[in-house]
Structure 1
Amino acid sequence: MNAPVNAPAELLIDSAAGPARVTTPAPREVWWELASLDVDTHVTQTPTWLDCLCATGPYQEASRLYEFEDGSRMVLPLVRRRRRPQWLGAEESWPAEWGIGGPLAPGGVGPAKAQALFDDLAGRHALRVGVRFRPGDTEVWEKAAPAGFRPESHMTQVVCLDGGFGTVWESRFHTRVRRDVRRAEKSDVEVEVDRAGRLVPVFHELYEKSIERWAVQQHEPLTLARWRRRRAFPSQRLAAVATGFGEACSIWVAWYAGRPAAAIVVLRHGRHAKLWRAAMDRELAHPVRATSLLNRLAIEEACLADCGSYDMGESSPGSSLAHFKEGFGADTCASPRYVRERLPVSAAERALRTVVKRAIRFKDA
């Protein structure tokens, strides 16, 4: 799956790291080369992820390749809104709900090149420019960020897989998680894994049940909950991801009493595995701890594939979901987002959301 892109454009810039050539969109062969050389590349920093985003949302590619005098190169995954003037649009890496973006740079990024990227983005004409950086890169970007870029706090919970599954099971899984997994294994739960997209409809069936449960938990009208969730996660998106990633996209489904009880979607690139989506029928899944079993199996598979981490995604600090992930040994890692806006659009959006939440007595889960 390849998203349509404009013909590449090149320009020369004077940067804090010296003269640099910028090519946009970034040539795919170079992007893939850097993704293979940068061992910290996440699933969500690959061209495949961008293609899925553009195929299922109102976006087009705006990625940027930076080539410096010393021969080093850096790619910034980036998209912009389609059918919108640049001065009214956004250029982001990534939009909300699409996780960690940020540049790929084999060998790391020093202060001068970090400054070069921020200076280039500061000159963009878009109403909003935003980049969410991956864990481990935070210090250099924090020091380089100019005053015009506002930091937004984000985190992700990551299970370290060093030492193999035996070490993860014995030393990182909490006792309660091991107990839950054994409970599931003793029940009549049957697990199926699909790497061809066949179980996409089953996942969506469970996802609709999850939306209903979340609406009740959050005191949110079901119609609003469905509109909001489907807007963030369109029905065609999982099918696009399953097709784009192929065998690197695994849909795990736990069946109980002949019915789907829980499902998770796990993506993989290089040494990184990512728990992307999860859904369940709580009445079926919770008594037999089906979701715990699915994550245990996915983590074991990631270990066998020589992955170094299992990214379980972002959660609200102190929430029950964060507590669930901590049970698998997930550490909380900072993954900040830096935003530059020409008008206070985000503040207005937050104020509007606050008003709506108060009106419906919304409860954050």
Structure 2
Amino acid sequence: MNAPAVLLIHTPDGPTHVTAPAPRETWSALARQDPRTQVTQTPAWLDCICATGPYRDASRLYEFQDGSRLVLPLVGRRQRPGWLDAEESWPAGWGVGGPLFQGDVSPAKARVVLDDLARRPVFRTGVRFRPGDEDVWAGAAPVSLRQEPHMTQVLDLDGGFGTVWMGRLRDRVRRDVRRAERSQVEVEVDTTGRFIPPFAHLYEHSIVRWARQQHEPLALARWRRRREFPMRRMEAVASRLDGSCAIWMAWCAGEPAAVIVVLRHGACAKYWRGAMNRDLAHPVRAVPLLHRLAIEDACAAGCRWYDMGESAPGSSLALFKAGFGADNCSSPRYFRERLPVTAADHWLRAAVKRAIGFRDA
């Protein structure tokens, strides 16, 4: 690894020092100090990305005149010339990134960071903000950065599990959970990666179901889903998060029925992935039971939020998460690219969907 480069940015509020890549000890310290840090904003998450794709550490540490510090997680592409490079936080499929900081970020400091990002001499640069960060950063974004809206659903765990159970979960979800508790479903949780093989089995089951629901050719669905989420990604995350990746598995008559993967860092628990054999899981309401247990576990661990991930507004998935009391939160992506590749990609995907009669679930 090359030694970090230290740059100087002159701003109206004084000089700002920028170190790239960000020193790990500083990044880790800020991740502990910022109470809203998600696991996807940690150095360990960057290591997972770099271990499973052609990426390198491009993170940036900003040290302001008043002594405050901010880390922006970023990865670039290995072995690409600068004009073809992409520096992002994060690449598609890796969730939210965004800056880490202690205390409040002033609009002036936010503008320094986003102006620096917009000036990077690369083909594309972008950052996906975590829920709750939009207000300050949206107002500071230069006109050269385009906004791509995203919605994340987050359950507030304030008050503990009793408050969440009685005050936030909807009646139908509580009924489903009670039904599951009366059934023969058995639940285990593992943080060692032992359940990755049954997870992979259920993920293949889900691909078939998703293809049928979305009117997508099965061969295309398998190619697309395996490309978006190769199983080596699951293996890297389970092995590198040091016990912070919990795989909750529901069994029916000894067969894997449903699974959810929950990641944790500090006050934030994050539902990351899920899959099921619907024929086994739905009659016994295994998935609501898994979330109920994961939420209770997060409350017991002192977590303040249970992030249920991104959803398309109005989709069946969004309605399912809303049943747990999850609030809709904006977590937009801001990006700049030298050619309109993103727009062309969206157009091509839409054209393919129209051609095959694709239906968003």
Query: How high is the TM-score relative to the length of structure 2?
Result: 0.98
1-side partners of 2:90 and 2:13: how far apart?
Answer: 25
Structure 1 residues 33-112: aligned runs within 5 Å:
33-112=29-108
Q: Does 1:206 align with 2:202?
A: yes
For 1:314, the aligned partner's letter is: E
SS at match of 2:32: helix
**2:7 aligned to which of 11, 14, 32:** 11
In the alignment, is the contact (CA less than 8 A) between 1:17 and 1:116 conserved in 2? Answer: no
Deviation of residue 294 (structure 1)? 0.3
Residue deviations 1:80-107, cap 9 Å, x none?
A: 1222222122111111111111100101
Equivalent residue number for residue 219 of structure 1 = 215
How many residues align structurally? 361
Q: Distance in 1 between matches of 2:12 and 2:130?
A: 22
Alignment of 1:282-297 (within 5 A): 282-297=278-293
Matched residue type, 1:162 = D
CA distance in 1, matches of 2:76, 2:321: 33
Distance 1:126 1:221 in 2: 36
Which whole-Å CA distance do the structure 2 matches of 1:311 and 1:197 have between them? Answer: 21
Superposed CA offset, 1:36-61 (max 9, x none)? 11111111100111111111122111
Q: Which deviates more from structure 2 when the two are superposed, residues 281-290 or residues 355-364? A: 355-364
Which residue of the other structure, out of 180, 185, 198, is the alignment partner of 1:184? 180
**Equivalent position amino acid for 1:140 in 2:** V
1:243 corresponds to which of 239, 243, 246: 239
Counterpart CA distance in 2 for 1:87 and 1:127 is: 5
SS at match of 1:108: coil
Q: Match of 1:320?
A: 316
The question of 1:174 aligning with 2:200 is answered no
Equivalent position of 2:157 in the other structure:
161
Partner of 1:27: 23
Structure 2 match to 1:122 = 118
Letter of the 1:224 counterpart: L
Q: Which runs of 4+ in 1 moved over 3 A?
A: none
Query: What letter corresponds to residue 53 of structure 1 in structure 2?
Result: I
Q: What is the identity, as a one-letter code, of the residue corresponding to 2:4? A: P
Q: Which runs of no fewer than 5 residues in structure 2 stay unpaired?
A: none
Deviation (angstroms), 1:16: 4.6
Q: 5+ unaligned residues in a row in structure 1: which ranges?
A: none
Q: 1:356 to 1:70 in 2, by over 3 A?
A: same
**Cα distance in structure 2, aligned partners of 1:235 and 1:40:** 28
CA-to-partner distance for each residue in 1:302-352, whole Å, 9 max, x for gaps?
000000000000111111111110111100011111111111111111111
- Percent identical pairs in the alignment equals 68
Aligned to 1:266: 262
In 2, Cα distance between equivalents of 1:85 and 1:232: 25
- SS of 2:100's partner is coil
Amino acid at match of 1:241: V
Pair 1:197-2:193 in alignment: yes
Preserved CA contact (<8 Å) 1:91 1:126: yes
Q: 2:227 aligns with which of 223, 226, 231?
A: 231
Deviations 1:265-293 (A, max 9, x none): 00000000000000000110011000000
Measured in 1, the distance between the counterparts of 2:280 and 2:113 equals 49
The one-letter amino acid paired with 2:171 is: T
Are 1:16 and 1:115, in contact at CA under 8 Å, matched by a contact in 2?
Answer: no
The separation in 2 between residues aligned to 1:65 and 1:171, in whole angstroms, is: 41
Counterparts of 2:16 and 2:245, CA distance in 1:
36
Equivalent in 342, 346, 353 of residue 357 of structure 1:
353
Post-superposition shift, 1:17? Answer: 3.8
Match of 1:153, as an amino acid?
Answer: P
Residue type of the partner of 1:96? A
CA distance in 2, matches of 1:112, 1:345: 30
Match of 1:299 in 2: 295
